[in-house]
Amino acid sequence: MSTAIMDYQPLVSEVQPKVIHDEQMNLKFISILEKLDSRWDTLFTAEKEIHELLTLLIETYERKHYPLRAATPIEALTELMQANELKQKDLVGVFETTSVVSEVLSGKRPMTVEHIRRLSKRFRVSADLFI
């Protein structure tokens, strides 16, 4: 728009935000949100308010229709190893030997309280991640 100020009401009429009930509407709002994102630094206040509203609507729909499950302790450890480009041998300071690391990662051996404490310290994460 060429005006210095954009009114909220006309923008609401154009976008017509409402509770999302199907994937088609979700994709429509995602598309609008992406367009707003692409020019975030130049958005008018009304556009930022619509952006916030669409974000809430999309998050609510996706939380209900695409629930995420929590990672298992082994999945969390594997992800941390990948993110830090570590191999099993790199965790010998946390676990006693590479064979213990292998047994824990394969699920043949549970993590001990000491393993969890050391992993938490090593990766600077909450111990709850491994429980």
For residues 122 and 20, give the distance between their C-alpha atoms in angstroms, rounded to a whole number: 43
For residues 89 and 130, give the distance between their C-alpha atoms in angstroms, rounded to a whole number: 19
pLDDT level of residue 1 (50, 70, 90 thresholds): very low
Structural contact between residues 71 and 79, judged by C-beta atoms closer than 8 angstroms: yes
- Supply the mean pLDDT for the chain: 92
Q: According to the model, what pLDDT value does residue 6 have? A: 72
For residues 120 and 90, give the distance between their C-alpha atoms in angstroms, rounded to a whole number: 15
Q: Work out the burial of residue 12: count CB atoms within 10 Å of its CB; fewer than 13 is exposed, 13-18 middle, 19 or more buried.
A: middle
pLDDT tens digits, residue range 76-105? 999 999 999 999 999 999 999 999 999 999
pLDDT tens digits, residue range 50-82? 999 999 999 999 999 998 888 999 999 999 999
DSSP symbol at 14:
H
